[in-house]
Amino acid sequence: MTMWIPTIAADAGPIYLAIADALEADIGSGTLAQGDRLPPQRELAYQLGVTLGTVTRAYGEAERRRLVRGETGRGTYVASRTRMVSPLIPQEDAPEGCDLARNFAYPHLNPSLGEGLTRMAGTAGIDRLNGFVPSEGLRAHRETGVLVFKDYGLDADPARVAVTCGAQHGIQVTCQALFCSGDAIAVDRFTYPSIFTSLAGLGLKAVPVPALTREDGGFGAMDPEALARAAGSHGIRGVFLMPNMQNPTTHTMSVGERLDLVEVARRFDLRIVEDDPYTPFLPETLPAFGALAPERTASIASISKVCSPGSRIGFVHVPAPLEDSIRDKIGESTWMASPITAELIAGWVREGHLFRTLRLKRKANRQRFLSACELLAPHGLQGDVNKVFGWLRLPGTVDPDALQTALGHQGVSVLSSRYFQAMNQAPAPYLRLTFGSEPSDERFRWALQRIRATIGQLAEFPQLTRPVG
């Protein structure tokens, strides 16, 4: 273990950020090397004369910056610069636990891959799929995208649909086609975690914009007036939105909320990127931004959350002037999405497997959400029976990073609000809980009980990072 004690200036601002900054500086200077074990949080808190929660938050910020990695039961280590430490990425050798962090949406209910491959083997002209195809995908596969987009409230034109290697790749090529390096893009204050690194990797700047407050006190859509102010002061060129099941708040925009944001986008000439991987779970089809503002919206669809993350197939629908650009960006990044897995998905859509899988998952999700409401009362859980994750409001005295750490020691993985915020922002009192990654109903309920008990312990004894008893 390295007896590392950072030097913190009196005017350094928030102490937890100063600790993370000092850690980053010492790694950069070589004072700390890859694999060095950092002091236990209690020990460092004692040496610095700060609270345990401050150090917990500092280590959490350092993990978010990919400076360190935490290993359950062993400690915190300086990470390899080439290693991804995001808790969202599964690892083959990860210890067994109950996963309420990653949003895999009931993979144990996915269609049979073996049956799908057997069906494909008998498809006429199957050998064509073993060669190169156009970067935008074969027409038959783009027409599958048209069928998927119907669930999104968009009557897509197959000529403007392109097949991508999943929604993440769709975000990348869409942003490359729509924006130039240096452009500022508005995002929700709490949003999809990877959008921050995706935009930064493309040379784009993410500008967080606050949300409206709903009548029930929960988070609503992006505040259109705040977006207008940001557009005027930050020179924003576009906006990234998740209208149907916003990640992580779960909010589904009303038609009025969508129209208000379209008005701002037109007034300031903003391009819209809408990404909605969870839309098919919703029983009601609302108009997509691609239908309300087709001249400025690029829509992204994926069925990874519905039936096949391993296929890595997504679809983008872009305004007509961008057809060539999106084709070129796909070609430059990966030449083409796999036509083999695109055909697998097309068969599942044509034969009704998508609908049957959704029916099973909706039924399972209803029970999981009701269990969460029952076992986590009286804490506020934003969501409903159709949302595959929930946004849990914590008591003001409970640090979400400390709660995440304490639950991790018990084998329950969750995500603190900080994973959904821009860097250097203090985490808000929220936790995202996913409902479908754990296949066992019994273990899911056990995890909810541990969450409730640990919240109670930390609310009573905020200095704790491990639950007692």
Q: What's the CATH number where 225 sits?
A: 3.40.640.10
* More confident: 8 or 286: 286
CB-side neighbour CA atoms (13 Å) of 429: 13
Query: 0.85 exceeded by the pTM?
Result: no
Q: What is the mean pLDDT of residues 103-121?
A: 92
When mean pLDDT is compared over 116-120, 280-284, 389-393, the highest value belongs to 389-393
H/E segment holding residue 404: helix 400-408
Q: Determine, yes or no, domain membership for 411.
A: yes
Residue 30's CB: how many other CB atoms inside 10 A?
Answer: 7
Query: Does the pLDDT at position 85 exceed 60?
Result: no
293 and 414 both lie in a single domain: no
Residue 297 tokens read as 């919206």
314 and 363 both lie in a single domain: no
Q: Percent of the chain having pLDDT more than 70?
A: 93
Query: Does the pLDDT at position 94 exceed 60?
Result: no
Q: What is the mean pLDDT of residues 226-242?
A: 96
61 and 125 both lie in a single domain: no
CA angle 23, 26, 27 (to 5 degrees): 85
- Which pLDDT score is estimated for 7? 82
Q: Determine, yes or no, domain membership for 4.
A: no
Under 8 Å between Cβ of 28 and 19:
no
14: DSSP letter: S
- Which pLDDT score is estimated for 469? 35
Q: What is the mean pLDDT of residues 310-334?
A: 94
361 and 341 both lie in a single domain: no
300 and 277 both lie in a single domain: yes
249 and 165 both lie in a single domain: yes
Q: Determine, yes or no, domain membership for 108.
A: no
Could you tell me the CATH number of the domain that includes residue 377?
A: 3.90.1150.10
53 and 201 both lie in a single domain: no
44 and 152 both lie in a single domain: no
199 and 335 both lie in a single domain: yes
- Which pLDDT score is estimated for 197? 87
Secondary structure (DSSP) of 141-182? HHHHHHHHHHTTT----GGGEEEESHHHHHHHHHHHHH--TT
Q: Determine, yes or no, domain membership for 89.
A: no
Last residue of a domain, one of 327, 351, 375: 351
Secondary structure (DSSP) of 322-344? GHHHHHHHHHHHHSS--HHHHHH
3-state helix, strand, coil in the chain (%, to 5): 45, 15, 40
Residue with the two structure tokens 């809408």: 274
- Which pLDDT score is estimated for 87? 58
Under 8 Å between Cβ of 42 and 52:
yes
Query: How many structural domains comprise the chain?
Result: 3
165 and 134 both lie in a single domain: yes
Mean pLDDT of all residues in the chain? 90
Q: Determine, yes or no, domain membership for 234.
A: yes
Per-residue CA distances from 434 to 33, 194, 277, 344, 412 (Å): 35, 17, 14, 27, 12
Secondary structure (DSSP) of 230-293? HHHHH-EEEEEE--SS-TTT-----HHHHHHHHHHHHHTT-EEEEE-TTGGG-SS----HHHHS
Q: Determine, yes or no, domain membership for 292.
A: yes
Q: Which domain holds residue 42?
A: 15-78
- Which pLDDT score is estimated for 468? 36
Q: Determine, yes or no, domain membership for 274.
A: yes
**Which of the four pLDDT bands, split at 50, 70 and 90, describes residue 266?**
very high
Q: Determine, yes or no, domain membership for 88.
A: no
Q: What is the mean pLDDT of residues 410-432?
A: 88
